[in-house]
Chains A and B, each alone.
Chain A
């Protein structure tokens, strides 16, 4: 029976669809297209509005060039950049010191279930808010200045660092831990000798990576008053001093590129 019905369709084959059948598939595709169309209609960006936008953009760029600054602006620029770099280093250090125990808590092979859920919750909360939102909250909490920025960046570091380190810890070889336990080691000694050596390259790599990210973010949190070069940039826009804005942006790009290069070099060394 099966052979008879099979012979009719022996020469044709269709890739099974992830949807129930073809009708459902085209219906869903149609709905997605409809949603795109609605989105465009909703925004109602007319061609003339688009052309006007391009015109304004060209005007802005021409007024920004060439980048320039007065001697007093140069002092502001240097002060802001140094503050951003210092904030980055302090925030990354604090963030990592806090992250390591959180990572141990948030790994299901080292922590009992209740502790694990607490650790995962800390990670989830610190990941759920954007840097700028955290920075605004910190400015409200501790006032304007680099302290708020450091707290915001350190807070964001926990979510990133602890999550990725916890995943690394969950992949370790239990046997190496077990050997320390069998020799009579305390839990802390077991972490120090049986776990830490296994995840150390990852800790170094993540630290460098996060330093890189924090450097970029430290230039942004200043916009909401959390210290660093960001506030200088915002002020220059407010004063229509676009040439100074361009100078600041160029310096930020240069610093981030240097940071990127150093981190690439460092990561290559520890592989």
Chain B
């Protein structure tokens, strides 16, 4: 179970990206985090495994408090959290096999990592996962030879081979076309059910969130303004998330001068 308690992040520039966010995720729940650009979605997901260092509050995975761990203990807990990225973040010049196996690096000595000396069970499992994500036969291709959808499936395979207790997906479909986006979302939901792990998906396409998520968290200006099943996400809730409570009828231009200032966007796009 992942517990996020009053999480805060203030960037060096003074932008408050997260203003005390609290929620829990457990079981094999698929939680979609939605919200406008600059609401802090990316910061939130990245703060859970401390790729972005939160400035306040606590994150706990089962009985381990992630915030406050030293570097070595943080590496251990990161092995239990698989991460999937918007731009896939595959190592372009390495083969698909090496990219998938790099998910096991946390369990490998540096010398064995240098020699690409992965244990046989890891390699066997990498092949199983390859067929699970429908990528048989490409293990010796370089990652930069694949299409966007294939790359993201390699990214998912790399996270799954970690045998994580939770998956974190930071805008996994933003760089993909609509059909491929749906394939990736259904692959993620299958993994959650088959491996019995929860997934936190940060996503800006509300339709995809409603179709695939068990629960939706709406983030607006660094605060949770909605937390419930997709069926409860009515127009009022959407207005609350995207327009700070004003309905479409109230204003013609939903973006200009809204409560989520454009300076927050810059802060979030820091990665």
Contact = CB atoms under 8 A, between A and B. Distances in A.
B140 to A, nearest CB: 15
A188 B105 contact: no
Given A175-B89, A184-B78, A184-B106, A193 B162 contact: no
Interface stretch (A1-9, A194-202, A261-269): A194-202
Interface residues of B, number: 34
Interface residues of A, number: 21
Interface in B85-111: 85, 87, 89-94, 98, 102-108, 110
A93 interface: no
Given A178-B51, A192-B110, A183 B105 contact: yes
Contact of B75 (A178, A179, A186, A192): A186
A37 interface: no
A66 to B, nearest CB: 52
A79 interface: no
Interface in A167-200: 173-176, 178-186, 188-189, 192-194, 197-198, 200
A100 to B, nearest CB: 13
A171 to B, nearest CB: 14
A241 B78 CA distance: 72
A264 B79 CA distance: 45
B89 A176 contact: yes
Contacts of B91: 176, 179-180, 193-194, 197-198
A174 to B, nearest CB: 8
A173 B98 CA distance: 18
Contacts of B155: 179
Contacts of B107: 184
Contact of A185 (B81, B93, B94, B102): B102
Given A186-B75, A197-B92, A181 B51 contact: yes
B2 to A, nearest CB: 15
B201 interface: no
B49 A182 contact: yes
Interface in A186-223: 186, 188-189, 192-194, 197-198, 200
Given A175-B87, A179-B102, A184-B106, A189 B113 contact: yes
Contacts of B75: 184-186
Nearest to B72: A186
B62 interface: no
A203 B79 CA distance: 31
Contacts of B94: 193, 197
Which of A176, A180, A181, A183 lies at the interface centre, i.e. has the most chain B CB atoms within 10 A of its CB?
Answer: A183
A183 B110 contact: no
A186 B76 CA distance: 10
A182 to B, nearest CB: 4
A185 B105 contact: yes
27 contacts: A173-B89, A174-B271, A175-B89, A175-B271, A176-B89, A176-B92, A178-B89, A179-B85, A179-B89, A179-B90, A179-B102, A179-B158, A180-B102, A182-B49, A182-B78, A183-B78, A183-B104, A183-B158, A183-B162, A184-B75, A184-B78, A184-B162, A185-B75, A185-B106, A189-B105, A194-B91, A198-B92
